Amino acid sequence: MLYLDNSATTPLLPVVREAMLPYLLEEFGNPSSKYYSKAINATKAIEQARKNVANLLGCKPEELSFTSGSTETNNMVLKGVTDYYQTKGNHIITSKAEHPSILDTCKYLEDLGFQVTYLNVDKYGRVSLDNLKNALSDNTILVSIMWGNNELGSLNPIEEIAALCKESNVFFHTDATQVVGKIDFSLEDLPGISFLSCSAHKFHGPKGTGVTFIRRDEYGVPVPLTPLLHGGGQEGGIRSGTLAVHNIVGMGKAAELANNYLEENILKLKMLEEQLTNILNAKFGRKIVFNNDKINKVPGILNVQFRGVNNEILVKKLAPVIAVSTGSACSSSKPSHVLSSIGLPLEEIRNTIRFSLSHLITEEDLMVFKSL
Ligand SMILES: Cc1ncc(COP(=O)(O)O)c(C=O)c1O
């Protein structure tokens, strides 16, 4: 079976698993313990992983707090910032094409009395800078716009948004879950990004681990926010709870590899995307329509309508040969809100499936389409 659902999750690389194993076995120490070697080894492993992830994101290791993944980070930032700065303002801005972990958190915040502007997106799911400019007010405390869309792959104009937010003195959070390891960027060059979410299992690390990037100023002081989890004070008090050492080590190893092979992996993904596009066009011609943009996107995500074919039935039929999805794994039972936000009628949404590639796939693997 050919796995083409890498935006949902990616396979763990064998070398990542090897790096994790000692921390599930003999090196089981708690990094919050002291003095004995198992505790020290666990702490050292955590700090090495933090450095590796920081190298990949282009930030300082101390700007990263480990979490259970992007759902947690998105909740942490939205709830933490709005709680901490509620006396400064009660307005936040996001987009209609965000992940449910942003949209549902925004709904929750609306119930608490915050005002949320959900920006419209264009036909590829991108926000416009002008719309964002018009939505900003003296009351705005946070803007949260995803970097790359998980269904369409489109990249938002993050550099411009970050600059605008900095100029407007508003915190900017970006959900970078789908772009880490797939586009080249450095947080050092983007001072307008105050917070960022990223998740290990989207770049061949383990599930259940991610980081929250929280920018520090020139004096090393992080942007303050109310913690989501209170307790033992781990991660500088911002995220309490015993660290999942094995998972964090896995994330660190996956980040090291993603960083070392970034250019190579991007080229491979672009090449595979082009090849799959050609195969689909040759095989299905006018029976298909691509919903995704061809440029300015996360390489390796294709969002395709098969005219007149029900996507649930198609995904089910393909399942023994090819693993694909109708869209986001987090909302796969409902028609896609992302496709609805770009103006697709329900009928076309119900004809759409997402193919998402990984650099581990070979050109020969894609030949399976020819035999369909
Ligand atoms: C854009 C985006 N944000 C957030 C998430 C949630 O990440 P996690 O699985 O780490 O909670 C996903 C996962 O699909 C995603 O694609």
Backbone angles phi, psi at 193, to 5 degrees: -85, 115
How does pLDDT run across 13-57, given as a tens digit for each residue? 999 999 999 999 999 999 999 999 999 999 999 999 999 999 999
pLDDT tier, 157 (very low <50, low <70, confident <90, very high otherwise): very high
* Residue 330 designated active-site: yes
Query: Distance, CA 222 to ligand 1 centroid (Å)?
Result: 24
pLDDT tier, 372 (very low <50, low <70, confident <90, very high otherwise): confident
Tell me, using a 6 A CB cutoff, whether residue 125 lines ligand 1.
no
C-alpha 173/C-alpha 143 separation (Å) is 6
**What pLDDT is recorded for position 370?**
84
**What pLDDT is recorded for position 329?**
65
Cβ–Cβ < 8 Å for 48, 252: yes
Which residue's C-alpha comes closest to atom 5 of ligand 1?
70
**What pLDDT is recorded for position 371?**
84
Which CATH topology does 14-260 take?
Aspartate Aminotransferase; domain 2 (3.40.640)
Average pLDDT in the 65-87 region?
98
Which CATH topology does 2-9+262-371 take?
Aspartate Aminotransferase, domain 1 (3.90.1150)
Q: Which residue has the tokens 């079976």?
A: 1
Which residue's C-alpha comes closest to atom 7 of ligand 1?
70
Which residue's C-alpha comes closest to atom 11 of ligand 1?
71
Residue 332 pLDDT exceeds 70: no
3-state helix, strand, coil in the chain (%, to 5): 40, 15, 40
Tell me, using a 6 A CB cutoff, whether residue 150 lines ligand 1.
yes
SS3 32: coil
Listing DSSP states for 288-343 in one string gives: EEE-S-SSSB-TTEEEEEETT--HHHHHHHHTTTEE-BSS-GGGTTS--HHHHHTT
Q: Which residue has the tokens 């992007």?
A: 70
C-alpha 50/C-alpha 61 separation (Å) is 5
pLDDT tier, 331 (very low <50, low <70, confident <90, very high otherwise): low
Tell me, using a 6 A CB cutoff, whether residue 205 lines ligand 1.
no
- Expressed in angstroms, the distance from the first to the final Cα of the chain is 13
Cβ–Cβ < 8 Å for 198, 177: yes
C-alpha 80/C-alpha 8 separation (Å) is 26
Reference 125, options 353, 344, 342, 300; nearest CA is 342
Query: Distance, CA 90 to ligand 1 centroid (Å)?
Result: 26
Output the six-digit token pair for 278.
């050609």
**Percentage of the chain exceeding pLDDT 70:** 98
Residue 137 pLDDT exceeds 60: yes
Mean pLDDT (the chain, rounded): 97
Query: Distance, CA 332 to ligand 1 centroid (Å)?
Result: 13
Residue 330 pLDDT exceeds 70: no
Listing DSSP states for 243-272 in one string gives: --HHHHHHHHHHHHHHHHTHHHHHHHHHHH
C-alpha 201/C-alpha 160 separation (Å) is 28
Average pLDDT in the 150-178 region?
98
Query: Distance, CA 218 to ligand 1 centroid (Å)?
Result: 31
Which residue's C-alpha comes closest to atom 13 of ligand 1?
8
**Percentage of the chain exceeding pLDDT 90:** 97
**What pLDDT is recorded for position 334?**
80
Q: What is the largest CA-CA distance in the chain?
A: 67
| Residue boundaries of the structural domains of the chain | 2-9+262-371, 14-260
**What pLDDT is recorded for position 327?**
80
C-alpha 110/C-alpha 115 separation (Å) is 6
Average pLDDT in the 306-331 region?
90
